[in-house]
Structure 1
């Protein structure tokens, strides 16, 4: 692979800056054989100047693209500050009308992209690359095209590294932290590699035609070939390993990136060509970011421990002894537990800060080993540290209504956001919160026991409207402990007011069915499991036998339930409030519905309940299918005559 400035001229000479590699070759004055005439030297010098100018255009194009987002972000931020203090509704402003019309189209899901806005951004980025590649170029010499592609490969490499920085300045300038830039990071990485392939292919083709493939044995070209294969491994790991083995992807990605960038430096070692300056700047950015992260981790290490607790359904609760500065629920830290993984750090969302708490879903690699350790040593404390926090999201205090949607473990983000909001809210606040949470199994509800109880007991009545859906029926005994330390009522929400009770260990299980229907009783936690016939409309259930039956029930039996049937479970703490008459009344329960929710309808109802002058935040975290529904539904609700709607999505994956 020849360098970005190499020339497949008739004599085989090379020189990206307009000068030859050397003049002592036995094959001639050029580094690739054959002496260069003054005319050739002048040609290479002119090409070098043109390529340098084109790279300045490339930098200006990317800078302009970033500037657009900076201006839009701060303009919207200042506008929201002004309109909140103004008596005139925000919708009367032409600025609001224009931005709403744009956002209505840009936040929609786009195939293989997070949104149409992401697709537009990628299109602009690719367009800048194409414009720089094909303009001001003499196509009569293939070397000119190869050299331009080499320059673009090096410049894109710098941009790829910039997008990967955890401590990116874009988090402050545009409110887009590194994880939200990951889509563009992947695209730019692939485009960088494509430019490398074009660069290498064009030069190799020329040398083959001139019967000078021996040039590829020179040490600079060997370094270039090594760099090509190193970056091939980087791209391959991102496209293949990342999907099913993240830890292998990370090791391969990082190791071969280092090999690649060092090899490129040996491929173009001459300072006069200025390519090496771009490479040194790229390496400096990456090293500085790593040093900042390492210094934070070392600073948070002394006298810091992580206590691990196993949760049903493969969850693990991790509680840290120390709370680092700037820790905010909803953001995320990189967690380092040396005894489990000496050289790995993994990102997890903050659920709470009093104490610092994370809920980790067991999958593969580190999370699986963490859960196994917690099962063997529940309550064990491990020396650990943290790097962060990272992540950006809108300030929920700036909105009148907050709609939170979570799928499974995505509740870590939404619970964190609620905790963050409750900590800031005043007693007389008139904000309202709608919380929609879908889990696969009842076991997952036990992951957030304490936080469900907090929302139930500490939030002002009527402040939070919680809707919980369980898409699968089977349950483990631990899932019953949704509200510990209190008596509980768990019952089928039905029209019949009568219920059966049995006290056991300060808990009560209530099963209620519609006796007029003549149907079998239904398990309150696994509502699709049929039990013995009802006697006189009611039946007492032994808890241990009930739980055993639930554990033995298969999903096949659960799915065999009559199509469309849906029952809801009420989990109610018997904490009582004293009213003005001195009597005690139970607080409203959390209702759990069996089946998948109509998420679009729930979002629509929540947003449309706000007045048109109010501001609504729709924040969601979950799998891609859920995010697609949230994006498209929210986009349809951004209207000139409706409330101001803001969307924030935290999608699974990195």
Structure 2
């Protein structure tokens, strides 16, 4: 038999060192036969001396073994080689295509890293790049929304299927990935009809599609889970926001799900009449569990469910993800692809471990939680001495209450102006903030002390600090992160420098000032030019009426025996007017187009816009910043979005 094999391998000089080694390994793996060194030379010599044609063997019967080497038909040898190259070679090709998918994202990340680190290492050079093809790329590709203005805003389809559209660059990246996946699953399915490995071309291609989709999905799996992690070193490497990683994570997960479904369906069809019998195998049972789990993940991860039942979504998401990993692990354990399960579980477990370490390192201090004006909850948390805040960053907070201690929610924060606290301003919506609201609204002074856990900080400040003029435009509760970042820049700016810092805050009514009074007061000691737009001043009257109203409230408190004549913001109402003299108040809805155009025109050089707040406002800032990239004065214009989509 070995002599016949050697003769077959030597036909057309196909007995390369690699082929001989593969034959030896196959005999060891599948036949438990350990071939000795030099087996090929000995066997081939024996073949040359003793091999005969099949036609010369008397009474030849294919089912009866023969004791001499056989000379096989050369044409059939090549046909069988071609057929097995197509079938078995599909395993290798599938692995390479999966590796190519990882390579695609590596290239995208490298480009992201070059963009990020060039801003950090060569800020002066970047400010000068405001011409020709670079402006075209930034105006039409890297900065704008995919379609006109809408990027941060939710889009609706049939009322239930809400969705978000990525930026134009992100859309091109995702489209390129989809194109790659479609391309590699549309090639190399040649069928050799003369060789009956499969009964028909249909069966052959069905099996190849099943194998390819399953292998590529498995190779992609580590990246899908890595992109979803909070403690992701790739965020530092690329400079992408968590929001960007989650955008790519969702599309990677959708592609992986589609490949898994195609794999399961085509393999089931290929089994045919043996389906019931083979489905009793453990690896197929767990493969089915993994497929069903991925389907549940994709369905319940729709924006509609994430926004309305986030806590339930997150719990189901984690359970189903664990089931998917377990199912895939058992499914591929004996197929040679379990290493990709290791590569998936390792960063997932590492991420959870780091989260726990961060929580316990911070400790579980008692936080002062207060309900303020405009349905805003203020959370004051003492921080450890080692804990360094990230300007514009965020942290995940656990409120240690029996009903929701296990939940963690992200909030931007500012440092307390007086002591070593961080302060969160949480807008009352649904879920945990609504539960806190119901607790606080009935408490004396609408205040409570709640033990909390803090995991963070996460995030990075924007490169706006390198621009000659930095304009921060916040709406409503989007102010804390932008305030934290512009204050960090202001600490490094002296009165002699030409750098301009502007903070624009758009609020609905004057009472919104109450919950951010202390921070606004501190601005008077900086070079930051601050403007506050009040879009609905009639709700409280003008600023004077608002102050009069607060003074009346304080007088009533004194008559009732109140010991504290200060508002929740910590500023005496009789002195608020003087303390706000450094801020320009404008009543009415601002023109974002006018603000952006004016700031570009007045800038001494490069100008960067940073925005956070209502999605419509953020999208407008992005749109008009793009419109000004090709300005007549050749100034560099940048836009950075600080809106984070957590759900």
Superposition TM-score, scaled by structure 1 size: 0.72
Change (3 A) 1:21 1:189: farther
Aligned partners of 1:468 and 1:592 also within 8 Å: yes
Larger deviation, residues 123-132 vs 425-434: 425-434
C-alpha displacement of 1:71: 2.3
Q: Give the conservation status (yes or no) of the 8 Å contact 1:220–1:266.
A: yes
Q: Distance in 2 between matches of 1:472 and 1:228?
A: 55
Unpaired runs of at least 5, structure 2: 1-24, 32-79, 148-163, 192-200, 556-573
CA displacement at 1:318 relative to structure 2: 0.5
After superposition, the C-alpha distances for 1:387-434 in whole angstroms (9 at most, x for unaligned) are: 111112324432221111222211122222233233333343443233
Q: CA contact under 8 A between 1:170 and 1:177: conserved in structure 2?
A: no
CA contact (8 A) 2:415 2:422 kept: yes
Call closer, same or farther: CA 1:21–1:605 in 2, change over 3 Å. Answer: farther
Query: Structure 1 residue 248 and structure 2 residue 241: aligned?
Result: no
Q: CA deviation at 1:376?
A: 3.8
Q: Does 1:373 align with 2:439?
A: yes
Query: Is the aligned partner of 1:308 residue 2:300?
Result: no
Q: Map of 1:183-582 to 2, 5 A cutoff? A: 183-208=247-272, 210=273, 212-239=275-302, 240-270=304-334, 273-301=335-363, 304-323=365-384, 325-339=387-401, 341-354=404-417, 355-377=421-443, 378-455=446-523, 457-460=524-527, 463-471=528-536, 473-474=538-539, 489-490=544-545, 504=552, 573-575=576-578
Unaligned runs of 5+ in 1: 1-16, 24-37, 84-89, 481-487, 493-499, 508-570, 577-585
Q: Does 1:638 align with 2:638?
A: no
RMSD: 3.4
Conserved? CA contact 1:179–1:391, under 8 Å: no
Q: Give TM-score scaled by structure 2 length.
A: 0.73
The residue matched to 1:153 in structure 2 has which SS? helix
Q: How many residues align?
A: 519
C-alpha separation between the residues in 2 aligned to 1:138 and 1:572? 83
| In 1, Cα distance between equivalents of 2:96 and 2:525 | 62
Q: Give me the whole-angstrom Cα distance separating, in 1, the residues matched to 2:30 and 2:400.
A: 50
1:134-181 Cα shifts (integer Å, max 9, x gaps): 334447421111111111222232221121121222222221132232
Q: Pick from 561, 564, 587 the counterpart of residue 593 of structure 1.
A: 587
Q: Which has the larger radius of gyration?
A: 2
Which of 101, 115, 120 is residue 136 of structure 2 equivalent to?
101
In 2, the alpha carbon distance for the partners of 1:201 and 1:445 equals 59
Note if contact 2:506-2:533 (Cα within 8 Å) is conserved in structure 1.
yes
Query: Is the partner of 1:573 in helix, strand or coil?
Result: helix
Q: Which of 41, 54, 72 does residue 97 from structure 2 map onto?
A: 54
* 1:451–1:213 CA distance, 2 compared to 1 (3 A): same
Call closer, same or farther: CA 1:297–1:368 in 2, change over 3 Å: same
Secondary structure of 1:320's match? Answer: strand
Change over 3 Å in CA distance of 1:18–1:255 after alignment to 2 = farther
Partners of 2:483 and 2:263 in 1: CA distance: 50
Q: Does structure 1 conserve the Cα–Cα contact (< 8 Å) formed by 2:222 and 2:344?
A: yes
Q: Specify the alignment match of 1:114 in structure 2.
A: 166
1:219: how far off? 1.9
Secondary structure at the residue paired with 1:602?
helix
Q: How many angstroms apart in 1 are the aligned matches of 2:131 and 2:238? A: 19
Distance 2:321 2:537 in 1: 43
- Measured after TM superposition, the shift of residue 442 of structure 1 is 4.0
1:137–1:162: structure 2 CA closer, same or farther, 3 Å change rule? farther
CA shift, 1:572, in A, is: 8.3
Could you tell me whether the CA contact under 8 Å between 2:284 and 2:331 is conserved in 1? yes
For residue 47 of structure 1, report the CA deviation from its aligned partner. 3.0
SS at match of 2:230: coil
Deviations 1:6-42 (A, max 9, x none): xxxxxxxxxxx9999999xxxxxxxxxxxxxx99988
Residue number among 162, 173, 177 corresponding to 2:241 in the alignment: 177
SS in 1 for 2:374: coil
2:551 and 2:507 map into 1 onto residues whose CA distance is 28
Residues of 1 paired with 2:546 and 2:508: CA distance?
A: 19
1:124 and 1:502, CA in 2 relative to 1: closer, same or farther beyond 3 A? closer
Alpha-carbon separation, structure 2, partners of 1:327 and 1:211: 61
Post-superposition CA distance 1:214-237 (Å, at most 9, x none): 322322111111111111111111
Tell me the SS of whatever aligns to 1:275: coil
Aligned match of 1:517: none
Q: Given that residues 510 and 534 in structure 2 are in contact (C-alpha distance below 8 angstroms), is that contact kept between their aligned partners in structure 1?
A: no
Distance 1:132 1:18 in 2: 28
The equivalent residue for 1:527 is: none
Q: Which moved more, 1:136-145 or 1:324-333?
A: 136-145
Question: Which residue of structure 2 lines up, in the alignment, with residue 145 of structure 1?
Answer: 209
Structure 2: how far apart are the matches of 1:320 and 1:18? 64
Query: Can you list the C-alpha shifts for 1:239-266, whole angstroms capped at 9, x where unaligned?
Result: 1411311111111111111111111111
Shift of 1:598: 1.7
Instruction: For residue 206 of structure 1, report the CA deviation from its aligned partner.
Output: 2.3
Partner residue, 2:614: 623
Q: When you count helix as a share of all residues, which structure comes out higher?
A: 2
- Shift in Å, 1:61: 2.3
Shift of 1:182: 1.5
